[in-house]
Chains A and B, each alone.
Chain A
């Protein structure tokens, strides 16, 4: 059995039927991480001993016939989820010494299901970035071309799954941080409706936008992981209580009559030709599957990037105030008085992009600027939300590119933050509206780099989105393509 290229459903079946052991499975992935991650830098922390210990417990449980869908499956976690006893850095020097004393709700749920922690994946510092280049632990490399970025902020999770260093990885998405790296790395990723996955223990970047999700090769894998991950949590006031839903339930249903909305704004400007071509081809495939294409409009979508870069930094400037060197995390070694301690600690502990957003956020919340920036952005946010409401009156699912280009070169945009911010132009409005969004592999563009198709659903339509993705993946095999990892910066 090819342990590294088998779907989660099949792996789970093999585990339950004791055809493979969890230890075997975990070892296969740990070995692959050991062999390849020095080139990818997808993981910040791997702890084989702990993982294997968890595998043995899972094997015991499986042998007693008490296995569930994810029992014995190793899952990598973005280093934004607090994991008791594990270093939890959020990609920052500020938390480079922080061993979480408690588990995030998501981690608790996976532990209860008997899944293993495969390791903690690399990410942009405090989830601020679109290329994984802001990480204190160095950039992650795109497995399809090691000279390229994997996207961000969940670049480690996306690259790990793409290179089959993990069968699935958790991730978070504030403005596209699941969908954009999934697209750039040629894997599937879902950001659920805001409030479905508890934020308790998920280190906050922008609270009103942050949402946990999953990256895995295929939509069916996503559905299985989501079944465990979603659920009400009383410790998160924005958590939504809904009856449990089986996200695999709709997967097998055909798409005949599905109305796909194509926002005029996502197809007009700023999309590179190779991405456009791949998206057109995937839409043609959907037509073959029985879907109908309808044009819709999201007139305020051009404002989503400026709105996001007011609101997200505003919340971040406050959320990151707790990193003051007083109670945990980095503290400057030498300082004078209290103010000096704060200043040095934060100057040393935060990287430039985090500082840029804290400054921006502090500015837009300041007296005299609040109305013009923060309040105005909140108003436009409502308009963006209404755009979607109207669009969904005319279609079942919205589609478009997840990213305007394929993966770009490492270092290419680091000196131009605005260019970097524009790489999330198609994903950000989904967070502003709190909607579920999915990115699936849809072929390859220039340089043999993956293109991602974005699927946007109405609130709580995750099941439908996964069905739409899965049906496409039954007809195509883009999500099964694995990079050979032979295109490296060194040989270029």
Chain B
């Protein structure tokens, strides 16, 4: 039988606010345990939550970026359950009325473009962390993360393959980092995906029973976990079994998913509106203020690069892969006479390779757009060759400085002077009369021999185009 895969994703994006969603504590990552937990985070008797408006602004940005509905009035609800890293005994979330609903995200895969519908995005607080190691059989609780603002983004079950799901996750990741609401750091848990996976016979309309897979902290694990889970479900059903609705945990070391809890153990969270918080009212003014500060979105910019700058769809895609890349490119462009192709080649080529090698993004690039612009200007005006520019790029990356100074100090200026080139060529011809004769007899391959020798003689500085011209003219006799 042919099986169709159905996947929906629930993503928790940690919002890039300075303080927590309901308290004034810092949200910075990596502090010593419990130093970023104040009375509110510890849920001392008598404390109360107060909403951080910066988190709401993030949600509005997301709603605007996905063309979603932003609720004029939404409600915070309590999700009640007991766990030691949940100090209040409930999590403040949104349940019946989320701040953002609807919206879409367009993905591209090998099979083309596809629009994925979003169900909703709601604000909630994160829990703390339970640490089960290094406490001699006891558990440690770190509440630094408790109360960190999250936007939970839920997609419709619109994806039909792991490749689509990963494309969606990457696209979402690009979007939330692009609009500055999430730092996107997956290792630190700033961007976490849970996947709802089910299968159904090709052509069947009703959904199969789904399993929710958790603990997917990289795109690679997300993809591998889905592949495993799909295979598991197919094998199960084909051998006469039935899929039961449950939450499964992905184990990257064994590359398998294991049951965590089934629907039967599903808790009754007893959601109800939080009486400590008034309904969240978002005025049209607030939305307009946020809209006015929205950056150009990646999709639009990508189109613009193709239409207005004449770049290939591929280059435009790479250049808008992150806001940092796009910003770097856009700063570079005017410095190189708007030569989009040249800039694109360098940003996606040398620069990207160097950044990757150092494991950093454009924001912390060792070569600024100004430095690279200075270098490319000299390529464009013929002062140096592309090959030389690549060497200079490495020098700039390692030692800093600017291209012009390096060109002068290293004597790398191209020899474009016709007289000097003629002298070099003349001397070569005198040295190799046999080859001259061969060329003149019609053996054009010998031309390459002269190019090589002339380049060597010039210390690599000969302007290739001019050298060609001089050689052709002189060899012709």
Contact surface of A with B, Cβ cutoff 8 Å: 81-82, 88, 90, 95, 98, 100-102, 104, 199-204, 206-208, 234-238, 314-315, 317-318, 320-322, 324, 326-329, 338, 342, 362, 365-367, 370, 374
Contact = CB atoms under 8 A, between A and B. Distances in A.
A119 to B, nearest CB: 18
B234 to A, nearest CB: 33
Given A100-B45, A235-B48, A237-B51, A322 B276 contact: no
A374 B272 contact: yes
Dominant secondary structure at the A interface: loop
Given A207-B275, A208-B275, A374-B272, A327 B42 contact: yes
Contacts of B249: none
Given A238-B278, A367-B268, A321 B46 contact: no
B44 interface: yes
B50 interface: yes
B87 A318 contact: no
Given A207-B275, A326-B141, A327-B87, A318 B270 contact: yes
Contact of A95 (B45, B47, B78): B45
Given A327-B43, A365-B80, A366-B270, A237 B88 contact: no
Contacts of A338: 84
Max count, chain A CB within 10 A of own CB: residue among B45, B50, B78, B87: B45
A204 B141 CA distance: 24
10 contacts: A82-B46, A88-B45, A204-B45, A234-B50, A237-B48, A317-B80, A318-B89, A320-B89, A342-B82, A365-B80
Contacts of B42: 327
Interface of B: 39, 42-51, 78, 80, 82, 84, 87-90, 141, 268, 270-272, 275-278
Contacts of B78: 318
Contacts of B80: 317-318, 321, 365
A367 B95 CA distance: 14
A174 to B, nearest CB: 12
B355 to A, nearest CB: 44
A366 B267 CA distance: 10
Contact of B276 (A100, A207, A374): A207
A321 B275 contact: no
A365 B268 CA distance: 9
Nearest to A90: B45
Which 4 pairs across A and B sit closest by C-beta, in order of nearness? A321-B89, A365-B270, A208-B275, A207-B275
Contacts of A365: 80, 270-272
Given A207-B275, A314-B272, A370-B272, A321 B82 contact: yes
Contacts of A82: 44-46
B49 A237 contact: yes
Max count, chain B CB within 10 A of own CB: residue among A98, A101, A314, A327: A327
A158 to B, nearest CB: 22
Nearest to A236: B48
Nearest to A368: B268
B268 A324 contact: no
B41 to A, nearest CB: 10
A88 B46 CA distance: 11
Contacts of B50: 234-237
A322 B48 contact: no
Contacts of A206: 275
A342 B39 CA distance: 22
B298 to A, nearest CB: 36
B37 to A, nearest CB: 10
Contacts of B39: 101-102
Contacts of A318: 78, 80, 89-90, 270, 272
A101 B39 CA distance: 9
B276 A238 contact: yes
B278 A237 contact: yes
Given A237-B278, A314-B272, A315-B275, A204 B87 contact: no
Nearest to A361: B270
A238 B277 CA distance: 7
B275 A104 contact: no
A206 B277 CA distance: 13
A365 B274 CA distance: 13
A202 B46 contact: yes
Contacts of B271: 365
